[in-house]
Structure 1
Amino acid sequence: METKSSIFSRARAVQSTPKKARGFLSLPPELRNMIYQYYFEADFRCEIAAKGCDFRVKKTKTVKLWAGAFQPGTRTLQYIPKPEESAPITIRISRPLGRYTTVQGLQTHWSSSLFALHIVCRQIYAETVALIYNKTVFVFNAPQRIINFHNVISRPKLEYITSLQLHYSNYGCPGLANDRIWREKHNASWIRACGTASRKMVNLQHLKIWMQVHDVPLRFNLRVLWLLPLLQFRRLTQAPMHGGGGSNSGTDTRAIKLVNVDIDFRTRVSNHFSQSHRLAEANNDLHRLFGEAIRLAILGAKEEVAMAGFTTAWEGEYAMWQHHLGFAKTGCPEICLLGDESVYWMRACLCGNLEVDQHDHARFSKNLNDTR
């Protein structure tokens, strides 16, 4: 028996047509990527520090004599000022991250803010989030702000970061023995902060550090306590170990990323000895050479290789100035540290395993608290 056809048997479900993208999002992805590359071409700088911090390098004030001031018509004596380098676009974040309020949000000047494009819609944010972190230089000057930054920002976004700048100042020598604990806490905070940064910013390529050392007396070698936080970044310059438990396959094929390290090393005697030109030149050159030794140590060089340039100058060209400079015994890899610093160096970064250093540090802190 044949079924009779009806108009209802030929009815079909109505299919909703997707909304057609208009404007910028209607462009092909290739063109949008080209526009993004152009938009994020400039250098951007994000300073996570207090409002009163001044990161600008103070220029030396000099007096120059210009003969053209009395003969302005002479072409050979005309003064041509050098063009000033354009400063990167900078934003300062002084409030604690993760504590956003409506009042602070309304005070944001989006026209002068970094990357206002990413707040247009979710799709543009998803397409540009990698460039936001990749093209921005992040600047820190306190360990707690570094730790807070890593607690708020998700790990995938931290892996996009390629440039980091640190303004690092050690605690120095406390005047009272009871205040020594604050020196240990300060150093432990920097070790924890730099260790976290080196483990989570796995694609870091550019690292610049401004160092200000307040120790008395000065000891120039790679086994000092205040240098241990910075040596945590050696893990970014060491080839991954194969066959470990880090991945299911037992093989880690990540390439070494950190290739550019810049160190600006200063102490309480930097730019001193102005009465003697040769002594001042020796002092400044030794500071530069030790900064270079720190740079090589972070890049993975062994202790003897990193200190080769400094040791050669210290024991050779500038040996006659050792007494006048007043440094402690320095430049000798075989130096045996005294007191608590030897505990940190038992399994130091220059000898290999960075993770063991963390256990030594925890055990040392526990013993230190028990004795107190």
Structure 2
Amino acid sequence: MTATSFFSRAHGPRAHAPKRIRGFLSLPGEIRNQIYGYYFEVERHCEFAAKGCQFKPRKQRTVKLWSGLVPPGSCVSPRDTEADAEAPTLIRFSRPLGKYNVVQGLQTNWLGSLCALSLVCKQVYHETTAFLYTRTVFIFAAPKRMTNFFSNMSAIKLESITKLQLHYDTYGHPQRTSDLIWQNKHGESWHRACKAASKKLIGLQELEIWVQVHDSAPTFTLRESWVAPLLQFRRLTRSNESGVDGGDPFQRTGRQPILQVVKVHIRTRWSKSPLAAFRNVRALAKASTDLHLLYGQAISLAITGAKEEEAMAGFNAAWEGKYREWRHHLQFARTGW
């Protein structure tokens, strides 16, 4: 008679049936990606600036007179309604990232949050992260906010960013020589921020920069000190050369540079109202406006990889040819004296 062991009655682990996924997550990944594409089709603008900072010029205050012959409701211009309908959704972050507390969390309106689909669950969040950062335009107005953003975002999110806008204010000429140190620090901070952006935003496709030049007598050349930070983005347009500082990011990742659209807008103290600045001399005001546009195009070409002579060809041709008679009035480049 064989004795039965006490452990012979033990059963092995039961094989549980896998959980059946139902609903939206049961759809194939290709269909979910198409739905995400429709959901994130509308472009959104995300601004990192102070509360009182305004990127667009303020509208002039005007007084409208009403004679009473036309109903007031019919005086609405269709252009205003179309502009409001086409305006993208705007979000502004005025506080530095990474400094989050419970009080600020309680003030968040989760029910009315934009892109609420990303807050459903972890799986949907990971699947929609690339769509969210790809379809959003990130706007910065200060170098510290840029470095703060780069230090708090993961590499996957930064690589998904495709559109970047910068509002760059130069320091200008200090009145005292003792203040030159602040001018140098201002330039160095923008240089560090643009250098970090050119290394981390390897998926950048569109770059738009508004430069406010505060020099009393600006000179339009590519060798100005405030132009050097912008030329850091040349790193995103080359694939075979190795950078001087740390190498080319595309050689490490094996990806090809895709930055093709670069727009630079130059503003000076004459840009706001050229006619008033030049005492209603229309030819001189037109020359100043066109030369500002050509100089912005020259910086754009330099960022995309053009050499100095090639980038400045359009500006130099207009300066030496079409607007030659206004060179001594504008003093933007060499006048021959």
Instruction: Provide TM-score, normalisation by structure 1.
Output: 0.77
154-163 vs 181-190, greater mean Cα deviation: 154-163
* Counterpart in the other structure of 1:181: 181
1:314 aligns with 2:314: no
- For residues 293 and 90 of structure 2, what CA distance do their matches in structure 1 show? 29
C-alpha deviation, 1:326, in angstroms: 3.5
Q: Is the 8 A contact 2:221 2:333 kept in 1?
A: no
Code of the residue aligned with 1:36 in structure 2: it is Y
- In the other structure, the counterpart of 2:116 is 116
What is the DSSP-based 3-state SS (H/G/I as helix, E as strand, rest coil) of the residue aligned with 1:54? coil
Amino acid at match of 2:131: L
* SS of the residue 2:124 aligns to: helix
Alignment RMSD (CA, Å): 3.2
What's the secondary structure of 1:316's corresponding residue? helix
Aligned mates of 1:252, 1:87 — CA distance in 2:
36
Q: Do the aligned partners of 2:170 and 2:213 also contact (CA within 8 Å) in 1?
A: yes
State the match for 2:162 in structure 1: 162
Please say which of residues 51-60 and 126-135 is displaced more in the overlay.
Answer: 51-60
State the 1:30 CA deviation.
2.2
Quote how far apart the aligned CAs of 1:16 are.
Answer: 1.9
Residues in 2 aligned to 1:2 and 1:152: alpha-carbon distance in whole angstroms: 69
Letter in 2 for 1:166: L
Q: Indicate the residue corresponding to 1:237 in structure 2.
A: 237
Separation in structure 1 between the aligned mates of residue 253 and residue 25 of structure 2, nearest angstrom: 38
Name the CA shift for 1:71/1:50 in 2 (closer, same or farther; >3 Å).
closer
The residue that corresponds to 1:258 in the other structure is 259
2: distance between equivalents of 1:251 and 1:96?
Answer: 30
1:39 paired residue number? 39
1:81 aligns with 2:78: yes
Deviation string, structure 1 residues 114-171 (Cα, Å, up to 9, x no partner): 3221121111111111112111111100001101111111122211111100000100
- The answer to whether the 8 Å contact 1:144/1:189 transfers is yes
Query: What residue is the counterpart of 1:267 in the other structure?
Result: 268
Alpha-carbon distance in structure 2 between the residues aligned to 1:295 and 1:61? 34
- How far, CA to CA, are the matches of 2:47 and 2:137 in structure 1? 8
Aligned partners of 2:185 and 2:308: how far apart in 1?
Answer: 26
* Secondary structure in 1 matching 2:322: coil
Correspondence 1:323 to 2:310: no
Deviation of 1:199 (Å): 0.5
SS at match of 1:114: coil
Please give the residue correspondences for 1:185-196 in structure 2 after superposition, counting only pairs within 5 Å. 185-196=185-196
8 Å Cα contact 1:187/1:229 also seen in 2: yes
1:137 aligns with 2:137: yes
- SS state at 2:47 partner: strand
- Please report how far the alpha carbon of residue 282 of structure 1 lies from its aligned counterpart in structure 2 after TM superposition: 0.5
Q: Which residue pairs with 1:106 in the alignment?
A: 106
Letter of the 1:121 counterpart: C
Distance (Å, rounded) in 2 between the aligned partners of 1:329 and 1:202? 38
Amino acid at match of 2:304: L
Q: Would you say how many aligned residue pairs link Structure 1 and Structure 2?
A: 319
The more displaced of 50-59 and 273-282 is 50-59
Take 2:60 and 2:318, find their aligned partners in 1: how far apart are those partners?
27
Partner of 2:308: 303
Distance 1:184 1:10, change over 3 A: closer
SS in 2 for 1:55: coil
Q: Aligned partner of 2:308: which letter?
A: E
Query: Match for residue 16 of structure 2?
Result: 16
Structure 2 SS opposite 1:92: strand
Identity, in percent, stands at 52
Amino acid in structure 1 at the alignment position of 2:78: P
- Residue 56 of structure 1 and its aligned partner are, at CA, apart by 2.4
Separation in 1, partners of 2:2, 2:319: 107
- Unpaired runs of at least 5, structure 1: 73-77, 333-372
The residue number in structure 1 matching 2:288 is 283
How many angstroms apart in 2 are the aligned matches of 1:61 and 1:290?
A: 32
The 3 A distance-change label for structure 1 pair 275 and 224 is: same
Instruction: Name the amino acid aligned to 2:40.
Output: F
Q: Distance in 2 between matches of 1:155 and 1:79?
A: 47
Which blocks of at least 5 consecutive residues in structure 2 are unaligned?
A: none
Please report how far the alpha carbon of residue 256 of structure 1 lies from its aligned counterpart in structure 2 after TM superposition: 1.8
Q: How far apart in 2 are the matches of 1:229 and 1:12? A: 67
Matched, 1:152 2:152: yes
TM-score, scaled to structure 2 = 0.85
